Amino acid sequence: MKTKNMKRTAWKRLLEKEYTVRDCAPWGHPGRESLLKIHRVTAPLWVKEGYGEICIADAGHTWVQVACHGQPYWLTAMFDRKGQFLQIYFDIAKPPCFDDADDPTFVDLYLDVVLTSQMELVTMDREELDAALQSGEIDGETYDFALQAWETLLAWLEVHKTEIVDYVTRVYTELQ
């Protein structure tokens, strides 16, 4: 399992960035939200979506990240250089750590959910979660935790897709 931070300091692709963070409480869950403006990368990051490939990280792109106390996910919303919403990526994770309030961290539990710009929900990396259990990297309790978090998040997102896009777009605008 990898531990990741909001400043994305371990991400080698990211060469130059600007970072802003503040308190938040979306849907009554206190935490931190940030804006990561990407100024320079080693190479653009392209990912596949159902309708083709999209670039989610390049010079001029901006990411909104949200981590809430006690919540088993980490939200990353991507916007292109024109400010157009690209997708929201939810890492299923152990609840975030806020030891450094300016740079929260999370332990990634492999399983992910993407809300595309077409408002489709896509589950990713289930095979990585299964492989982690098979190899002994995670135990059955952690596996079950990840699956329960995934099921709960999917059910919530089915009802709140538009609200979540509106929320990250508002954060994007406010933190510019």
- Residuewise pLDDT in 10s, the chain (176 residues): 899 999 999 999 999 999 999 999 999 999 999 999 999 999 999 998 767 899 999 999 999 999 999 999 999 999 999 999 999 999 999 999 999 999 999 999 999 999 999 999 999 999 999 999 999 999 999 999 999 999 999 999 999 999 999 999 999 999 99
Domain residue extents for the chain: 3-175
In angstroms, the Cα distances linking 93 to 3, 51, 123 are 9, 27, 14
Encoded tokens for 174: 């406010």
| pTM of the shown model | 0.95
* CATH of region 3-175, choose from 2.120.10, 2.40.380, 2.60.120, 1.10.357: 2.40.380
- Cβ distance 130 to 138 under 8 Å? no
Return the closest-CA partner of residue 165 out of 119, 121, 113, 123: 119
Rg (CA), the chain: 16
